[in-house]
């Protein structure tokens, strides 16, 4: 179903910034929301009180709608769910799980709930529970990913549910947005492109690594653990893959992965850190403000869509 996401969420452009643990903090989120998109605060690296502090700071930085993402695998997911209700967060996205324990509380509080899903079955289950939209996230995305590509996933989810579908994975410009529209998407979620936004406080080494990335630079580690994660191939990813080939025990993999994202984001360690990135990093070639990114995306998008209509005449 084509739905009007802008009306649903009270935003200007159908552009959503994907949550990135350790990365999408109030600085980036407020910049995206103030520019007319939907900024999404990541909480995968926070506990309940850390999340409350981030939300309060964000509220000081923007009057526009924003979202908070709950990483359902997080040990703090329950605390964070309580905090987002107390803080009356207007939009809640979820990831890395198919059960939202606190869904009723979110709905009663008046929040719009938008889970990120990797498959038709999970989309249908959530739609039945009354969520407002879903983000269909293809395996091209960075971070924790499903197996199906955006190209195959989006139209199948669109046919399966009667709520708006937001496309994610492999989108970094107006062409990607136009392509997703053709597949039936109502809006677009982008992570990697916003990672290099001027307002994004990620370590400069991380930004440079994205800016110089090529199409084939990412790989998925963690397939053996059931939690595959797309990262830029480096010393850390190779070590992880070697352990997986040796069928190393889960604890050993966990030990190697522990703190690895923080190492990349905060310390700028591009060899021993986990440099999460989407496959589209090769297309991301300049640092711009969130406003410049959103306006350029939308300009490209509308121009392509108008040209496509003209071709029909």
Interacting residues with ligand TUI (CB under 6 A): 21, 44, 71, 95-98, 116-118, 122, 137, 143-146, 227, 229, 261, 276
Could you tell me the smallest distance in angstroms from the CB atom of residue 117 to ligand TUI? 5
**CA distances in angstroms from 312 to 88, 89, 101, 307, listed in the order given:** 46, 43, 47, 9
Shorter beta-carbon distance to ligand TUI: residue 78 or 86? 78
Could you tell me the smallest distance in angstroms from the CB atom of residue 169 to ligand TUI? 9
Shorter beta-carbon distance to ligand TUI: residue 143 or 164? 143
Could you tell me the smallest distance in angstroms from the CB atom of residue 28 to ligand TUI? 15
| Selection from 231, 221, 160, 228 nearest residue 195 by Cα | 231
Could you tell me the smallest distance in angstroms from the CB atom of residue 114 to ligand TUI? 11
Residues with Cβ < 8 Å from 244, sequence gap 6 or more? Answer: 221, 222, 223, 224, 253
Shorter beta-carbon distance to ligand TUI: residue 39 or 95? 95
Shorter beta-carbon distance to ligand TUI: residue 59 or 227? 227
Q: Kindly calculate the radius of gyration of the chain based on its CA atoms and give it in whole angstroms.
A: 18
Could you tell me the smallest distance in angstroms from the CB atom of residue 42 to ligand TUI? 8
Long-range contacts from 23-26, C-beta under 8 angstroms, 24+ separation: 23/195, 23/200, 23/202, 23/265, 24/69, 24/194, 24/200, 25/54, 25/201, 26/54, 26/57, 26/58, 26/61
Shorter beta-carbon distance to ligand TUI: residue 64 or 144? 144
């Amino acid at each position: 179903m084509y739905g009007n996401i802008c009306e649903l969420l009270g935003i200007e452009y159908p552009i959503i910034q994907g949550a990135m643990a350790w990365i999408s903090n109030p600085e980036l989120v407020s910049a995206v929301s103030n520019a007319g998109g939907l900024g999404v605060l990541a909480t995968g690296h926070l506990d309940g009180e850390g999340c409350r502090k981030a939300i309060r700071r964000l509220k000081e930085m923007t009057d526009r709608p924003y979202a908070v993402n709950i990483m359902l695998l997080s040990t703090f997911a329950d605390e964070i769910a309580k905090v987002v209700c107390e803080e009356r967060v207007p939009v809640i996205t979820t990831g890395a799980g198919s059960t939202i324990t606190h869904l009723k509380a979110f709905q009663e509080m008046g929040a719009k709930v938008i889970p990120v899903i990797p498959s038709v079955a999970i989309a249908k289950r959530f739609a039945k529970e009354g969520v407002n939209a879903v983000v269909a996230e293809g395996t091209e995305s960075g971070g924790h990913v499903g197996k199906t590509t955006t190209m195959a996933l989006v139209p199948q989810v669109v046919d399966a549910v009667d709520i708006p579908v937001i496309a994610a994975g492999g989108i970094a410009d107006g062409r990607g947005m136009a392509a997703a529209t053709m597949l039936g998407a109502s809006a677009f979620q982008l992570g990697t492109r916003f990672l290099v936004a001027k307002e994004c406080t990620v370590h400069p080494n991380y930004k440079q690594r994205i800016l110089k990335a090529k199409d084939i630079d990412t790989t998925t580690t963690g397939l053996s653990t059931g939690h595959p994660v797309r990262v830029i191939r480096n010393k850390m990813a190779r070590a992880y893959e070697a352990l997986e080939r040796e069928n190393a025990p889960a604890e050993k993999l966990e030990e190697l992965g522990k703190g690895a994202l923080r190492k990349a984001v905060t310390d700028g360690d591009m060899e021993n850190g986990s440099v999460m990135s989407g496959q589209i990093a090769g297309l991301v070639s300049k640092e711009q403000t969130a406003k410049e990114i959103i306006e350029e995306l939308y300009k490209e998008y509308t121009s392509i869509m108008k040209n496509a209509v003209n071709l029909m005449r």
